[in-house]
């Protein structure tokens, strides 16, 4: 970009010729360029603006008459990055010529800027330009997974905590994740600890004793919101499976059973059927007593079950 043919040619005619002379001339030329470079210009533009969006006016800021721009061959050169900006030689307007995606250019960085150079010939001048890329809220918070499942025993104590996954948002500053909310429910509250941008944690806190026999599955929704205007959001479905404990005794269908049996009834005659129910899902054994002398037991499948008792 420093090799302006005309410039170097005019300088080399003053040298003594030969390789050594050319090197010296190049050094002098570079020194001249350093003198010719002026202070840095700063502009700012939002990411994702349409191509052709004007960022600033170089003719005005460099105090050059617009009629001279073409004659002085004003050019805009990108450092080592893609060319995002160009200049309109008729007006001096510096404009966007390609899509600028801040998240692609500066991932995980709060500040983002592009450095370019404006070069003029006759005489040669170099002007450094910094264009700050302003974030827009073009990304919604998102969770790595759509759903999170917890298996929580119904014997859990209130106050117990369950760690939740956090949301990510590729935007920065106020456009990144700012808050979380939990869908209204009677069992859990949400506790978000914020100790800086990267040390947040969110937990479910049990507020009320669980009862599998009343509600075995609890569905919740965790919503992450960013601070943009308007705010964008992402959701995580939470599925709580309430795990059973054996907290219900089997119950007979009636408190008293009466039966009649004829004398000399054959062995193994059925005389009475009782039914029991337990609300738990756990496999249990029902042990009953008929009389001080006659005791029998039978297995009971998960409730509701029936147990046939046979006299012996
Ligand atoms: Ca973007
Ligand atoms: Ca953005
Ligand atoms: Ca965002
Ligand atoms: Ca239970």
Instruction: Tell me, letter by letter, the H, E, C secondary structure of 83-142.
Output: CCEEECCCCCEEEECCCCCHHHHCCCCCCCEEEEEEEECCCCEEEEEEEEEECCCCCCCE
Ligand 3 midpoint to CA 194 (Å): 18
Q: What global pTM score does this model have? A: 0.72
Q: For the chain, what are the domain ranges?
A: 37-134, 147-243, 251-310
Q: Rounded to 5 degrees, what are φ and ψ at 296? A: -140, 160
Q: Which ligand is nearest to the CA of 167?
A: 3
Q: Which ligand is nearest to the CA of 104?
A: 1
Ligand 3 midpoint to CA 299 (Å): 59
Ligand 1 midpoint to CA 250 (Å): 62
Ligand 1 midpoint to CA 101 (Å): 4
| Assigned architecture for domain 147-243 | Sandwich (2.60)
Same fold, 37-134 and 147-243: yes
Ligand 2 midpoint to CA 134 (Å): 8
Q: Which ligand is nearest to the CA of 209?
A: 4
Ligand 1 midpoint to CA 49 (Å): 10
Q: Which ligand is nearest to the CA of 169?
A: 3
Ligand 2 midpoint to CA 103 (Å): 6
Q: Which ligand is nearest to the CA of 230?
A: 3
Ligand 3 midpoint to CA 147 (Å): 21
* C-alpha span between 213 and 210 (Å, rounded): 9
Please tell me the CATH superfamily of domain 37-134, with its number.
Cadherins (2.60.40.60)
The residues, ordered by sequence, that sit 6+ positions from 171 with a Cβ below 8 Å of its Cβ are 103, 135, 136, 137, 138, 139, 226, 228
The residues, ordered by sequence, that sit 6+ positions from 136 with a Cβ below 8 Å of its Cβ are 46, 47, 48, 102, 171, 175
Per-residue pLDDT of the chain (312 residues; tens, 9 = 90+): 333 333 333 333 333 334 444 444 343 334 344 445 557 899 999 999 999 999 999 999 999 999 999 999 999 999 777 899 999 999 999 999 999 999 999 998 999 999 999 999 999 999 999 999 999 999 999 999 999 999 999 999 999 999 999 999 999 999 999 999 999 999 999 999 987 655 689 999 999 999 999 999 999 999 999 999 999 999 999 999 999 999 888 888 888 988 888 888 888 888 888 888 888 885 555 555 555 444 444 444 433 433 444 433
């Amino acid at each position: 970009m420093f090799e302006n043919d005309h410039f170097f040619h005019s300088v080399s005619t003053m040298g003594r010729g030969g390789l050594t002379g050319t090197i010296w001339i190049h050094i002098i030329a570079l020194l001249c360029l350093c003198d010719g470079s002026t202070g840095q210009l700063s502009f700012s533009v939002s990411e994702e603006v349409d191509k052709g969006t004007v960022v600033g006016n170089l003719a005005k800021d460099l105090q050059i008459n617009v009629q001279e721009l073409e004659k002085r061959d004003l050019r805009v050169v990108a450092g080592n990055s893609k060319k995002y900006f160009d200049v309109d030689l008729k007006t001096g307007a510096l404009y966007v010529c390609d899509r600028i995606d801040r998240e692609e250019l500066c991932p995980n960085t709060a500040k983002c800027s592009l450095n370019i150079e404006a070069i003029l010939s006759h005489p040669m001048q170099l002007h450094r330009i910094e264009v700050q890329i302003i974030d827009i809220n073009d990304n919604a918070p998102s969770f790595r997974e759509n759903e999170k499942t917890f298996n929580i025993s119904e014997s859990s104590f209130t106050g117990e905590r369950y760690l939740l996954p956090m949301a990510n948002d590729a935007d920065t500053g106020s456009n990144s994740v700012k808050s979380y909310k939990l869908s209204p429910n009677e069992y859990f509250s949400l506790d978000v600890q914020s100790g800086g941008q990267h040390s947040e944690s969110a937990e479910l806190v049990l507020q009320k004793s669980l009862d599998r026999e009343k509600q075995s599955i609890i569905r919740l929704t965790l919503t992450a919101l960013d601070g943009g205007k308007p705010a964008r959001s992402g959701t995580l479905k939470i599925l709580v499976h309430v795990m059973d404990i054996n907290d219900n005794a089997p119950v007979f269908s009636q408190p008293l059973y009466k039966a009649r049996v004829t004398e000399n009834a054959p062995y193994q005659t059925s005389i009475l059927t009782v039914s029991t129910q337990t609300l738990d899902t756990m496999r249990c054994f029902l042990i009953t007593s008929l009389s001080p002398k006659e005791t029998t037991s039978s297995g009971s499948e998960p409730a509701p079950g029936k147990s046939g008792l046979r006299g012996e």
